[in-house]
Amino acid sequence: MTHPAQPKASHFINGEYIEDTAGTPIPVIYAATGEQIATVHAATPAIVEQALSTAKAAQKAWARMTGTERGRILRRAADIMRERNHDLSVLETYDTGKPLQETLVADATSGADALEYFGGLAASLTGEHIPLGEDWVYTKREALGLCVGIGAWNYPTQIACWKGAPALACGNAMVFKPSETTPLCALKVAEILIEAGAPAGVFNVVQGMGEVGGALVTDPRVDKVSLTGSVPTGKKVYAAAAEGMKHVTMELGGKSPLIIFDDADIDNAVGGAINGNFYSSGQVCSNGTRVFVQKGIKEKFLARLAERTGNAILGDPMDEATSFGPMVTENQMNIVLGYIQKGKEEGARLICGGKRADMDGYFIEPTVFADVTDDMTIAREEIFGPVMSVLDFDTEEEVVARANDTEFGLSAGVFTKDFTRAHRVIGNLEAGSCFINSYNDAPVEAPFGGVKASGVGRENSKEAIKHFSQVKSVYVRMGDVEAAF
Ligand code: NAD
């Protein structure tokens, strides 16, 4: 019998599901059991061509609609997503393995927030009037044209919406390629947009690995590429986009610092560290995986952290009581276990976890290392799994310098009751998305993105509009033209 997660076909182009079984089969594995639940096929060159030419053709008419009309469609799509939240969350859990307890509140709901927010903004994307005596300049905010979105595997619904919603609000069309690891959820986003009244072809989904992503990025008809992925992929995609002088948004990896001063509320700080390391089993780009704890509270912090981490409920992700799911794939599990091994070999002190959980699926116990030093591999490289490194520090000056000593700059957090210090420290940290006495909140109203190797551009908020549109300026002369000859 066909599994309920199996989509009708692999791709969604021009308002309908399309199959081409000549493409390489991509198995979809449910991470909690290791069972194959669906198969899709990578896009062939013919499918890529169909998606790009369809999107290109649909874009102009979409951009000519009023912002109010486009916004109404996006807001209707948000309503449909919310009505279907349960089914979409179950699918997200099949796609990623993340527990339903999380997907019910963080995925389709976050996608719906983006559709609603950018739907609301669509009607107010106006330009300026710049008076110049009798003459004047007016500006118009115009669509870029054909945008490509490429997703990572940790938030397949959210990423499709965080890219699709602002792109469409601005009058662009999009071809979206989900991660080959989680190909299912973006198809539902495309289906819902059509149901909400989006013209066929303005949001299309094609499947495939890096090769398909590469074909999309290098196509001369494409005006913009928005990627969520790792730094090495980001460098390749950025370079390929530069060849064609295309706009880019790069949402890449991180190794973010979370700094806890000794005056912090310990339980809140422990809660922040848990949210910033173990949500989605640690598969979150903005995670605060370098937890710097001031020496005075170190042992108290570690004791409370170990106690609360022991309350994680590993198990069937479809059971709403489960609070901690598996790694997305066997491969990702092995990568993370390799880092845990390195942590042990390089002399970090294991506080809890540290091994694969004794159950089906790709579960790793939530793991905390203490006495981690700046040069250890687990403190330098992005692990993308449930491995928290706790490092000690003495002074504010020292911790800021050490926190910034990384190629990454996605996020940063600080816990302290001293608000002057909190703002001063955040002001000195090299990161795009920061938190004071909190960690990993990502409301659609707030800009999200990194500095340094962690990325270029911002998603969400009004900032995202700037990255999916461009300004045309028009000089208007009222009098005669003076010329030298
Ligand atoms: P990845 O870089 O392996 O792949 C990302 C996407 O790029 C996939 O869809 C992949 O098929 C595609 N791709 C690979 N090579 C390509 C190429 N040459 N041209 C075009 N596309 C190509 O990343 P992943 O393993 O799927 O995701 C994990 C990474 O994503 C982590 O580093 C994580 O930090 C990052 N991430 C960042 C954010 C953010 O918003 N900053 C969010 C989630 C994940």
Q: Which of 102, 180, 251, 396 is catalytic?
A: 251
How many A from CA of 386 to the centre of ligand 1?
18
DSSP string, 202-264: SEEE---SHHHHHHHHH-TT--EEEEES-HHHHHHHHHHHHHTT-EEEEE-----EEEE-TTS
Rounded Cα distance between 309 and 270, Å, is 9
Does residue 233 line the site of ligand 1, with CB under 6 A?
yes
CB neighbours (10 Å) of residue 406?
A: 23
Query: In 3D, which of 337, 44, 20 has the Cα closest to residue 215?
Result: 44
Q: Which of 163, 177, 224, 255 is catalytic?
A: 163
- Label residue 89 exposed, middle or buried (CB < 10 Å: 0-12, 13-18, 19+): buried
Q: Which atom of ligand 1 is nearest to the CA of 209?
A: 11
Active site residue 459: yes
Rounded Cα distance between 168 and 67, Å, is 10
Does residue 229 line the site of ligand 1, with CB under 6 A?
yes
Q: Which atom of ligand 1 is nearest to the CA of 448?
A: 40
Does residue 213 line the site of ligand 1, with CB under 6 A?
yes
Q: What is the pLDDT of residues 349-386, one digit of tens each?
A: 999 999 999 999 999 999 999 999 999 999 999 999 99
Does residue 218 line the site of ligand 1, with CB under 6 A?
no
* pLDDT computed for residue 254 by the predictor: 97
Ligand 1: which residue has its CA nearest to atom 26?
152
Residue type at 484?
A
How many A from CA of 458 to the centre of ligand 1?
16
Active site residue 251: yes
Rounded Cα distance between 143 and 166, Å, is 10
Mean pLDDT of 58-86: 98
Does residue 332 line the site of ligand 1, with CB under 6 A?
no
CB neighbours (10 Å) of residue 311?
A: 10
Task: Ligand 1 pocket test: pick from 40, 159, 182, 285 the residue with the most ligand atoms within 8 Å of its Cβ.
Answer: 285
Q: What is the pLDDT of residues 212-239, one digit of tens each?
A: 999 999 999 999 999 999 999 999 999 9
Q: Which of 147, 170, 185, 285 is catalytic?
A: 285
Q: Which atom of ligand 1 is nearest to the CA of 155?
A: 43
Does residue 162 line the site of ligand 1, with CB under 6 A?
no
Q: Is the dihedral of CA 320, 178, 248, 234 positive or negative?
A: positive
Task: Kindly state the DSSP code that residue 354 receives in the 8-state scheme.
Answer: -
Does residue 219 line the site of ligand 1, with CB under 6 A?
no
Q: What is the pLDDT of residues 306-353, one digit of tens each?
A: 999 999 999 999 999 999 999 999 999 999 999 999 999 999 999 999
Ligand 1: which residue has its CA nearest to atom 42?
285
Query: In 3D, which of 112, 139, 95 has the Cα closest to residue 4?
Result: 95
> Please, are residues 437 and 97 in contact by the beta-carbon 8 Å criterion?
no
Give the DSSP H/E element, type plus range, for residue 50.
helix 45-64
CB neighbours (10 Å) of residue 132?
A: 11
Q: What is the pLDDT of residues 154-204, one digit of tens each?
A: 999 999 999 999 999 999 999 999 999 999 999 999 999 999 999 999 999
Ligand 1: which residue has its CA nearest to atom 10?
210
Q: What is the pLDDT of residues 447-477, one digit of tens each?
A: 999 999 999 999 999 999 999 999 999 999 9
Does residue 179 line the site of ligand 1, with CB under 6 A?
yes
Per-residue confidence at 251, pLDDT binned at 50, 70, 90? very high
Q: Give helix then strand counts, H and E, for the chain.
A: 16, 20
* pLDDT computed for residue 296 by the predictor: 97
Per-residue confidence at 1, pLDDT binned at 50, 70, 90? confident
Does residue 180 line the site of ligand 1, with CB under 6 A?
yes
Mean pLDDT of 114-131: 97
Rounded Cα distance between 77 and 70, Å, is 11
Vertex 344: Cα angle to 342 and 348 (nearest 5) = 110
Rounded Cα distance between 2 and 448, Å, is 39
Active site residue 163: yes
* pLDDT computed for residue 89 by the predictor: 98
Ligand 1: which residue has its CA nearest to atom 1?
229
Mean pLDDT of the chain: 98
Rounded Cα distance between 373 and 144, Å, is 46
Rounded Cα distance between 167 and 115, Å, is 10
Task: Kindly state the DSSP code that residue 314 receives in the 8-state scheme.
Answer: B
